Structure 1
Amino acid sequence: MDTKKSDKFLSTLEAAQKGDADAQFALGLMYEDGKGTEQNYVAAYKYYKLAADQGNFNAQYKLGIMYYDGKGIEQNYIKSIEYFQLAANQNDSDAQFNLGVMYGNGKGTEQNYVAAYKYYKLAADQGNIDAQVNLGLLYAYGNGVEQNYEKAAEYYAAAAAKGDAIAQYNLGLLYENGDGVEKNYAKAFECYAAAAKQGDAIAQYNLGDLYYFG
């Protein structure tokens, strides 16, 4: 074990044992990642829980993930939602996004696209790329909100500008079909090309179609 990392672990442990919530979270992270100590999900859970109980939103988010994945604790989607909710209440955009996913997929709760929209919107307003993509999908399919291709294009464009391949592909689709935007094969080509460059197979296929059909 690296001595420097070991010293950091020991000093973090000392602070955590004195009740410092930030140190408890940091120690949980070290246990989860196996940095400065052996990887131990049960110990990670222990220290995340101590920090979360003091209101540390990062620890609350991590507990939501651990309950979702069943790492260090038995998988429990209801508890996952509980901790994501606590972190979301403190404006953590990742927790808000994950809540949206769970409501959208009906995990740990009844499927509720309106609630999914609510949390995606909160996260998207903070610049969360994944939430912007999923908001675009909700608007495109009319799930939890009235179908609106213009709004779908708006959210896809926001995420696509940050390099998200799914958003780039879906925006290309809107341009190719003229849904919510003026039909524009050049822009469709540009969007598909950006997504294809990142390995999006469907974008690569659509790009081939545009090449073939001109």
Structure 2
Amino acid sequence: MWFMQPFDMLRVFLILTVSAMAILTIPDFDVRADAIDDILERQRKSEHPDTVDLIASARAGAPAAQAFVGQALIEGRFGVVDVNLGAELLEKAARSGYAVAASDLAFLHKYGRGVPKDIAKATYWYEKAYEAGGICAALELAYISQAAKPYDGNRAVPWFEKCAVGGLRVCQERLAYLYLHGRDIPRDYAKSLRWLLEAVKPPDYSGGLARLAALQTLIGVQFENGLGISRNVPEAIEWYTRAAEADDSDAQYALGRLYEAGIDVPRDVGRGVEFFNAAASAGDVRAQYRLALAYERGVAVPRDRTLALKWLILALADRGPMSDQDAQLLGPFPRSLARTQRDEAERDLVRLKSELNSDQISAAESL
């Protein structure tokens, strides 16, 4: 149909399957029937009379049709915008237990679209949508709970758990992060790993390759450090490798560190430096510092103090250092240099500049 988006087709299918029953058993209908009749007449005379059956089904009381027509009126898809009538139709369908309508109505109240903004009403209708099987409503309720004042992150966790159990990957990711970092709930590495593994399950991941790679890296971190599971570096390397192939700099840095040191894998400094180079080129300051040391010492690469100075300058151009306390708190998760590392890098920078001539320094600064 001329006005339909792809996501509308499911609604149309539902409308066609329930409209006949609705016509035979017309429920009490307190929405303004005369207003719907006006729209019916207008559509009969329009160039698009194929909408008439949908509107007639809505007038007859079919919840799916009411939800569809209500949203169409709000968006002006019938050539007229009538937010009030659209909201009335959505509410009628929502009161019949139609989850899509309840979610759409909650959205209107949450953002004040054509109706007064009312978070309490939005919460009510999202809860009704969830009770009717609308799993996405649990995510909205989690967001509303997080935004409530005074802030209490614990209120959102049960809703994140509900939508995570229901299979929403965004909820599985969010729950994994909460447990991983101990945000709003006690840190629980076993639960964070459980939800990370759920979130990256095939066949499809809708969050994009970069997002998938970031999750794979976190799984690698947990296996490498024995967080919530027995330590297993070979398993960690498998996860890091998947993520590194998608250009995740955290994974590249982790692989560089493991291969350079030969931690539970055959030592391969050259391969480690290759991973440092990839991560450093992507802006990872930890890798930039390690690469600077490799060039300064001639480890697995020809000694090149100009390149060493270049990478030191880039590493130190990053935002301020973490305190040693923060670095310890973050454990395997820091992305910046700790205070002690930065102090050492600054000393190396001063020393290198004192040992190089002005042309070498200018070359390093221009690279």
Q: TM-score, normalised by structure 1?
A: 0.83
- The answer to whether the aligner puts 1:203 opposite 2:345 as a matched pair is yes
CA apart distance, 1:213: 2.9
Measure the CA separation in 2 of the matches of 1:195 and 1:75.
Answer: 31
TM alignment of 1:53-202, pairs within 5 A = 53-90=165-202, 92-198=212-318, 199=320, 200=337, 201=342, 202=344
Aligned residue type for 1:58: V
Higher RCO (Cα < 8 Å, 6 or more apart) = 1
CA apart distance, 1:210: 0.9
Measure the CA separation in 2 of the matches of 1:164 and 1:205.
Answer: 20
Whether the 8 Å contact between 1:16 and 1:27 is mirrored in structure 2 is no
Aligned residue type for 2:200: A
Measure the CA separation in 1 of the matches of 2:130 and 2:276.
Answer: 42
Aligned residue type for 2:162: L
Measure the CA separation in 2 of the matches of 1:145 and 1:133.
Answer: 15
The secondary structure found in structure 2 opposite 1:212 is helix
CA apart distance, 1:27: 3.8
Q: 1:11-50: per-residue Cα shift (whole Å, max 9, x none)?
A: 7836555444444334424534x2xx33332232122112
Comparing 80-89 and 68-77, the one that deviates more = 68-77
- The answer to whether the aligner puts 1:24 opposite 2:166 as a matched pair is no
**Against the structure 1 CA distance between its residues 65 and 149, is the aligned structure 2 distance closer, same or farther, given a 3 Å change threshold?**
same
Residue aligning to 1:213: 355
Aligned residues: percent identity? 28
TM alignment of 1:24-43, pairs within 5 A = 24-32=138-146, 34=147, 37-38=148-149, 39-43=151-155
Measure the CA separation in 2 of the matches of 1:171 and 1:95.
Answer: 25
Comparing 165-174 and 97-106, the one that deviates more = 97-106
Q: 1:157-181: per-residue Cα shift (whole Å, max 9, x none)?
A: 2221222211111111111122222
**Against the structure 1 CA distance between its residues 173 and 7, is the aligned structure 2 distance closer, same or farther, given a 3 Å change threshold?**
farther
Aligned-CA RMSD value: 2.6
**Against the structure 1 CA distance between its residues 7 and 136, is the aligned structure 2 distance closer, same or farther, given a 3 Å change threshold?**
farther
**Number of aligned residues:** 209
Aligned residue type for 1:110: S
CA apart distance, 1:7: 5.5
Residue aligning to 2:93: none
- The answer to whether the aligner puts 1:45 opposite 2:157 as a matched pair is yes
Measure the CA separation in 1 of the matches of 2:184 and 2:346.
Answer: 40
Which residues of structure 1 form unaligned runs of 5+?
A: none
Which residues of structure 2 form unaligned runs of 5+?
A: 1-109, 206-211, 321-336, 357-367
Q: 1:92-133: per-residue Cα shift (whole Å, max 9, x none)?
A: 323211111112222212222112211111222222221121
Measure the CA separation in 2 of the matches of 1:152 and 1:109.
Answer: 26
**Against the structure 1 CA distance between its residues 7 and 187, is the aligned structure 2 distance closer, same or farther, given a 3 Å change threshold?**
farther
**Against the structure 1 CA distance between its residues 125 and 31, is the aligned structure 2 distance closer, same or farther, given a 3 Å change threshold?**
farther
Q: TM-score, normalised by structure 2?
A: 0.51
Aligned residue type for 1:13: Y
Q: 1:141-168: per-residue Cα shift (whole Å, max 9, x none)?
A: 1124322222222222222122221111
Whether the 8 Å contact between 2:126 and 2:140 is mirrored in structure 1 is no
Measure the CA separation in 2 of the matches of 1:30 and 1:50.
Answer: 15
